[in-house]
Amino acid sequence: MLNKLVRFYIVIFVVSALFTGCSTKKETPIKSENINQVTNTSNEKTQSEDFNFSSQQLNYQIKKLNAEIDYLKEQISSLDVKSSLYADPFDIYNKEIMLNNGSSIFCKILSQTDNEIFVETLIGNLTIQRESVVRVVENITVLNEDNSINIIEISAEEEEEILSDAELIKQRQTQSSATIILLGDIKESKDKSGNTIFTGELKNIGSERADLVRIDFILRKNFQGDIKTLTSYISGSSHVFKNSGIISNSSINPGAIGSFKLIVPNEIGNFIGYSYQIEWDFYE
């Protein structure tokens, strides 16, 4: 009886050992397969991240190169404009004033008085004594087949017509002894919308009241001569005009100061420089 029990337990032990060995052999490939899948997934993720990083770096370099190319194009265009301006100043400064000392000045005439002519040149603004002027020649670029330049000499009558814009200044000075000057410097700033703001003060150093005092800003947009003119009226003292009964606060009494503020909208774009002219009238 004992031998039968011993044999029975031995058989059970052997069968259990066989089942345990089989189950262990089956689980090992599954675990190995899972590890391989995790490793492959990790490698694919790493490769994807590396590819994305490389793509971002490549896009950044492309954008950087495009920006540098655009900047160089702007610089080349600017140099071309400047070189053409210096090569042919007639594009802007088409008046040639011949002086009695044998020299010539290529310029643009701004205004004149009985004794002086105010001109703009490549090197800045100049004041020429009228008695030193021999004659004025206008250079006109004609688009002929040979791209030649015709030079037209201006007669005395035509010269007076060219300078007619300055007659307003002359008449104003004869009608009124008011004299308006810029007090200090013109301040330039930007607002939140990107508009350019010019502010400053004007003073009447004459002996009469100046009415409708205003300052014209001539904005030079490029070297081709494109300009934009904006006007700002002075905030000064009030005056009632007798004939019309209109009240204006753009008058400046003798010795008084008026302020101005001009807003240049950002829609106008950039400008490379500006000049200004002070205008005023006189009414009873």
Per-residue pLDDT tens over the stretch 183-233? 888 898 988 888 999 999 999 988 888 888 999 998 888 877 788 889 999
The model's pLDDT over 57-108, given as tens digits with 9 standing for 90+, comes to 888 888 888 888 888 888 787 666 556 555 555 667 778 888 887 788 888 8
Domain span at residue 205 reads: 176-281
**Are 74 and 39 members of one domain?**
yes
CA 267, CA 191: separation in Å to the nearest integer? 14
Residue 121 sits in a domain whose CATH number is 2.30.30.100
The Cα diameter of the chain in Å comes to 153
Report the number of distinct structural domains present in the chain: 3
What pLDDT is recorded for position 199?
Answer: 93
- DSSP type of residue 154: -
- My answer on whether 134 and 187 are in the same domain is no
- For residue 23, pLDDT over 80 is answered with no
pLDDT (tens digit per residue) in 130-164: 888 887 776 655 545 555 545 455 555 555 555 55
Q: How many CA atoms lie within 13 A of 81 on its CB side?
A: 14
The pairing of beta strand 211-220 with beta strand 273-281: antiparallel
Same domain, 2 and 73: yes
The domain boundary residue, chosen from 84, 107, 128 = 84
Domain boundary among 165, 195, 210: 165
Is 226 inside any structural domain?
Answer: yes
| Same domain, yes or no: 188 and 219 | yes
Closest CA to 135 of 117, 123, 150: 117
Q: CA–CA separation, 216 vs 92, rounded Å? A: 20
183 and 275, same domain (yes or no): yes
Asked if residue 248 is part of any domain, the answer here is: yes
Residues 275 and 187 reside in one and the same domain: yes
The domain that holds 189 is classified in CATH as: 2.60.40.10
Last residue within a domain, chosen from 165, 200, 230: 165
Residues pairing with 150 in the sheet: 140
Examine residue 170 and state whether it is found in any structural domain, yes or no. Answer: no
